[in-house]
Amino acid sequence: MVGTARGALRVGLLGYGVAGRVFHAPLIAATPGLRLHAVVTRDPERRLQVRREHPDARLVDDPDLLWRLPDALDLVVVATPNRNHVPAARAAIAVGLPVVVDKPLAATAAEGRDLVAEAARRGVPLTVFQNRRLDGDFLTARRLVDEGALGTVTRFESRFERWRPEIKPGWRESGTPDQAGGVLYDLGAHLIDQAVQLFGPVASVYAEVDRRRPDAQVDDDAFVALTHTGGVRSHLWMSAVAAQVGPRLRILGSRAAYTSWGLDPQEAALRDGGRPGAAGWGAVPPERYGLLGSDDDARPVPTEPGRYQSFYAQVAAALRDGGPLPVDPRDAVDTVGLIELAHRAAAEGVALPVPPGAADAG
């Protein structure tokens, strides 16, 4: 059993695009008790990158080779294009291999729900890479909310905005439904997950989902409004066409507000070759601290260091010692369900209620 395995747990990584190369491979390599054992990619350039960046990892052309020798691995990470998340995870589960799936878990909540049920039936650990729960600004916001520093929260504003006026080639810009492309599936999967983590289940969804760039096949600009059952309203913006970006977070409460600007630095550090454990990892300089208070009396609040490394550390601990996985996959099913409902709400131009029981259908 994985939980009693000796030595580093052997990890097979499916995909070496942005998700695999920038996030998963370096975080796996930096986690004590894990070893990047195999990488599945056919792309010649990416194979060269693997050899250069992770020379001890075995290169594999076809994921079917992994399923034929499941005893050679202890964990599979699915970082493929979205359309392959479910079939790849299902194949790993079928041979009893624990699975980490990059977000979004699936293109539809029904597919995700079936996958979660299959993993539970077979007793195979399954979790989802929601790394933005470990952004420093989100950790800070969560602490302030939990401490009551804001009083009763009434509105949560959150943005992931970019300036990419030219369409990039690749599956993320594909318009076919099975690709689950567009900013709502990409950035929205983070923003919706964060909002629900902070303020709980959702009662209704309103959305505006648009294609702003010429010849765009998928949404590149979206706004989602969630009304939580507890009364908080979350206003979420995601865009590839924001030439000037707004605050990253703004939380309004009865006693104070909290506003922060700029993205968590961990993604940029990983892209530049940085690794967890380096001095200052995940830290935000004082000049970028968010402000807590009112316009007349606001003070900087130190931003907690981001800690993406905690995700795989908790995965390793769960597989060895039977502790909890970092993300309940049912949360990811709920997020996909809200994305689907947001698309419907935008098409119909109305706010739509979340169906009864949707939040616990996973």
Q: What is the CATH number of the domain that holds 235?
A: 3.30.360.10
361 has a pLDDT exceeding 70:
no
Burial status of residue 261 (CB atoms within 10 A of its CB: 0-12, 13-18, 19 or more):
middle
Average pLDDT score over residue span 338-346: 97
Question: What is the reported pLDDT for 173?
Answer: 77
- Tell whether 190 is covered by a domain: yes
Q: Are 72 and 165 in a shared domain?
A: no
Q: Above 80 in pLDDT, residue 109?
A: yes
Between 343 and 277, where is the model more confident?
343
Clarify whether residues 126 and 140 are in a common domain.
no
pLDDT at 1: 40
On whether residue 329 sits in a domain, the answer given is: no
Q: Looking at the structure, do residues 106 and 63 belong to the same domain, yes or no?
A: yes
What does the pLDDT average to over 54-77? 95
Query: Is pLDDT above 60 for 196?
Result: yes
Q: Which single residue is written with the structure tokens 């980490």?
A: 100
The answer to whether position 332 is within a domain reads no
Does 358 or 113 have the greater pLDDT score? 113
Residue 99: pLDDT over 90: yes
Once rounded to an integer, what is the mean pLDDT over residues 60-87? 95
**Judgement on whether residues 72 and 120 belong to the same structural domain of the protein:** yes
Mean pLDDT score, 157-178: 85
pLDDT at 359 (0 to 100)? 58
CA distance 161 to 191: 11
What is the number of alpha carbons within 13 Å of residue 81 lying toward its C-beta? 14
Query: What CATH number is associated with residue 37?
Result: 3.40.50.720
Does position 5 have pLDDT exceeding 80, yes or no? no
Q: pLDDT-based confidence at 144, cuts 50/70/90? A: very high
Residues 61 and 103 in one domain: yes
Does residue 230 share a domain with residue 151? yes
Percent of the chain with pLDDT over 90: 90
Residue 4: per-residue pLDDT = 40
C-alpha dihedral sign at 151, 157, 160, 163: negative
What pLDDT does residue 330 have? 98
The mean pLDDT value for 108-115 works out to 97
Nearest residue to 315 (alpha-carbon basis) of 31, 63, 21, 22? 31
User: Do 184 and 240 reside in the same domain of the chain?
Assistant: yes
**Mean pLDDT along residues 215-227:** 95
Identify the pLDDT of residue 3.
41
Tell me whether residue 112 is in a domain. yes
Q: Residue 328: inside a domain, yes or no?
A: no
Same domain, 11 and 77: yes
The pLDDT of residue 316 is 98
Q: How many domains does the chain have?
A: 2
Per-chain mean pLDDT for the chain: 94
4 exposed, middle or buried (CB, 10 Å; 0-12, 13-18, 19+)?
Answer: exposed
Residues 23-62 have pLDDT tens digits of 999 999 999 999 999 999 999 999 999 999 999 999 999 9
Which contacts (CB < 8 Å, 24+ apart) does range 341-350 have?
341/205, 342/184, 342/188, 342/205, 342/207, 342/209, 342/222, 342/224, 343/184, 343/207, 343/209, 345/205, 345/206, 345/207, 346/207, 346/208, 346/209, 346/222, 347/209, 350/206
Q: Are residues 83 and 68 in the same domain?
A: yes
Average pLDDT over residues 128-135: 98
- pLDDT for the residue numbered 151: 98
* 358 belongs to a structural domain: no
pLDDT at residue 180, as a whole number:
86
Whole-number CA gyration radius for the chain: 20
Is residue 244 situated within a structural domain?
A: yes
Domain that holds residue 175: 136-306+338-353
**Does 196 fall in a domain?**
yes
* Per-residue pLDDT at 6 exceeds 70: no
Residues 231 and 194 in one domain: yes
For residue 360, the model assigns a pLDDT of 53
- The C-alpha atoms of residue 120 and residue 258 are separated, in whole angstroms, by 40
Q: How confident is the model over 283-296, as a mean pLDDT?
A: 97
Residue 257 in this model has a pLDDT that exceeds 60? yes
Residue 318 and residue 349 share a domain:
no
Domain match, 181 and 272 both: yes
